[in-house]
Structure formats: structure tokens, C-alpha cells
Amino acid sequence: MELQQCWMRYLKAEKLIEHGYWSEAHELYTEVLDNLPIHIHQALENENIKPCQFSCLISGLRDATVAQSEILNKMGQQHSAFATLNQSYALLQFISLETSNLVQRTMTLIDNKSEDILRHMGAFCHAQRDAQWMLKYEHIQKAHHHFAKLRVTSDQANSTHLLN
């Protein structure tokens, strides 16, 4: 699906949610979330993409993810709701390890959206009132900590490389 089509489905899904049409919005968000990561990866490879354009993709990913997880949760599909949050969170974490100029220029936004999805996962897991969900969240928090270490190590390696 082309980016313009993806964006139009995203906008239509937002309107459907406003009017209470969750199942229709769910279908559109599914399409968006199936295709938006592809567009994000393509943007990373495209030297003509501006940071503001990439920022829109990242913000759209976060917004579609949170909306879709809320719909899935209301539909009683907690595992799918969590998987939706986790998948987008993981994508943002891996993108944050990229060393491209585009990622470096949008790192604050990537971090903010990643942290926001992490907070949604935490709230979701706490709301389940189940030890298994809390254990899942604890594992994700540990992974978050390890990714932060990887980024620091990667940043130090890049700055050392640039100095030499």
C-alpha cells in the first residue's frame, strides 16, 4: 500500500473512532500498522526524506498503535493489544540504534514516542491485575534498559570513530 493510501486509512480510522465505530477503525488500523513500518524503513533508506516527514511517520505509528491497542483491549483481545504495543515499541527501539543522520536528528522524538508506548504497556499490564502480565512488563523494562546501554555504547563508538 502506498504511503498516501496508508495515511488516508489512518485519518479515516481516527474519524471512525470519534463516532464509535471501533470494528471498522480496527480494520483500518490493522492495514495501517501492517504497512507503516515498511514506509518507515523506506524512509530510513531515502536520503531525500526530511526530519519533519520522518517525524510524522513515527508519530503516526505511535498514535495508530495506541488507538489499535485500546480497541483490541475493549474487544477483549488483551494478548493482541499487548502484542501491538510491543511490536511498535520494539521497532522504535531498533530504529533508535540506527546511526543515520535522519535518526540522529529525530532521536528526541523517537525516544519520546518509544517512552510513551512503554508507559502505555505499563498501564495496560497493571490494569490486567495479573502476575504474568507484570512479569512481561518487567522483561520489557529490562530490555529497555539494555537498549539504552546499547545506544550509549553505539554513540561512544561512533564518536570515537569520528574523532579518528
Q: Thinking of the domain 3-120, which architecture would CATH place it in? A: Alpha Horseshoe (1.25)
Q: What is the mean pLDDT of residues 112-121?
A: 95
Of the pLDDT bands very low, low, confident and very high (cuts 50, 70, 90), residue 164 is very low
Of the pLDDT bands very low, low, confident and very high (cuts 50, 70, 90), residue 27 is very high
Neighbours of 132 (CB within 10 A): 9
CA triple 143-145-146, angle to 5 deg: 65
Q: Say if residues 61 and 91 touch (Cβ distance below 8 Å).
A: yes
pLDDT at 26 over 50: yes
Query: Cell numbers of 61, please?
Result: 505509528
pLDDT at 152 over 80: no
Q: Assign 135 to helix, strand or coil.
A: helix
Neighbours of 75 (CB within 10 A): 13
pLDDT at 121 over 50: yes
Residue type, 154: S
pLDDT tens sequence across 66-114: 999 999 999 999 999 999 999 999 999 999 989 899 999 999 999 999 9
Alpha-carbon distance 4 to 63, whole Å?
Answer: 17
> Mean pLDDT over all residues of the chain?
91
Alpha-carbon distance 76 to 33, whole Å?
Answer: 19
